[in-house]
Amino acid sequence: MKERRDYNFYTMNRLERKIVSLIEDKGPLTFEEFMEMALYDDEFGYYSSAKTRIGRGGDFYTSSHLHPLFGAMVGRQIEEMWVLMGRPPGFRIVEMGAGEGHVCRDMLESLRGTDFFDAADYLIIERNPLTRKRQEERLSALEGKVSWVGGLKELRDIRGCFFSNELLDAFPVHLVQMGDDLMEIYVTAAGGELKEIAGPPSTELVREFFSQNSIRIEKGHRTEVNLKIRDWLREVSLSLAEGFVLTIDYGYTARDYYSEDRDRGTLVCYYRHQMNENPLQNIGEQDITAHVNFSSLLKWGEDAGFRTIGFCSQGIFLLSLGIDEEIAKMDPGSRDYPFELARIKKLILPQGMGESHLAMIQYKGDGSFSPRGCSLGNRLRYL
């Protein structure tokens, strides 16, 4: 075994040791490689751990944890997609990054008794057996309606909708900084800890991202490049014969993402509901995330055979689908009414998730559609 006098090797957790050993064998890791291990290492990664939970008792929560109406409204949009495609039998809803299974449950329960419920089946892509077990427990009342696969490569000739909520923000990113030239941030080990170092871009794709999208960043500016989105869209396109991709996540257009005001990028970490900006601590025990550049989602989607037909804030998306009508049906005299209303407001108001989270709808096929979910304010022209 190699001597590790320069490191507090035996005080590190097991994932840190694994990362240090890899660095010693191969040299510094790109931040993308580090983030991949920190989040998805099969043994010790954050999303592989039995301790990782999403929600009030976890490190963060998503829209699906706030109120069942979120899943119901998403289901209403996907039902419209089925109608627009001519009500085909065997319509498949494919959810990636389903978390604890809340959206699936809330969506399908809201659709019970409809023709769409009978025509559709729900497929969850989940490679973590621990997460899948929790999903199966939560969705036990929907047995026979929901099934699971381990990855996109297992799917072909799908007709339906690929849906994700807060998935792309967890894709590993390249971290870059502008000096005299564009530099990439790497992770190395020195002085008893993991540290950052800068070097030339690890792939020309990083440099090409900025030139091909006419993006210029100022000296000293640090930001992220999410190349995994491009690969993911290609895989989705290979799996989808005809249908839609519905993506909901927090993010910006390219103009806002790479603006002078955002000179430190968007990368943040969440540990027990507390935000920090140090991904080199709590390794394997905290979430690491970066906002989504929706302009790249549009561009790479077009390259993969999709047309973007809708783009708006989450608040507009939910209001367009009639969440206000559902609020009006609630009993103001109910003991739970103030609590329920407050949670719904977090979904739709700008000071909650209504403006920070965006919804994009892409389509692959011969049809020409205007989705209801963006009817009150389609922002396609801003992309």
Q: What is the mean pLDDT of each run of 10 residues along the chain (383 residues)?
A: 53 90 95 98 88 53 84 98 97 96 97 97 95 95 95 96 97 97 96 91 96 93 98 98 98 96 96 93 96 98 98 98 97 94 96 96 96 98 95
pLDDT of residue 5: 46
pLDDT of residue 61: 60
How far is 310 from 318, CA to CA, in rounded Å?
13
pLDDT of residue 59: 54
Q: Give the total residue count for the chain.
A: 383
Q: How far is CA 148 from CA 62, 76, 236, in A?
A: 21, 22, 16
Instruction: Yes or no: say if 60 and 287 are a contact pair by the CB < 8 Å rule.
Output: yes
How far is 318 from 75, CA to CA, in rounded Å?
11
Burial 250-268, CB ≥16 within 10 A → b, else e? bbbbbeebbeeebbebbbb
How far is 104 from 166, CA to CA, in rounded Å?
14
Which fold would CATH assign to domain 63-171+228-382? Answer: Rossmann fold (3.40.50)
**pTM of the complete model beyond 0.85:** yes
pLDDT of residue 58: 52
Q: How far is CA 331 from CA 68, 326, 328, 347, in A?
A: 16, 11, 8, 19
pLDDT of residue 6: 54
Q: How far is CA 101 from CA 68, 95, 134, in A?
A: 11, 10, 8
Q: Could you give the residue range(s) of every CATH 3.40.50.12710 domain in the chain? A: 63-171+228-382
How far is 53 from 99, CA to CA, in rounded Å?
9
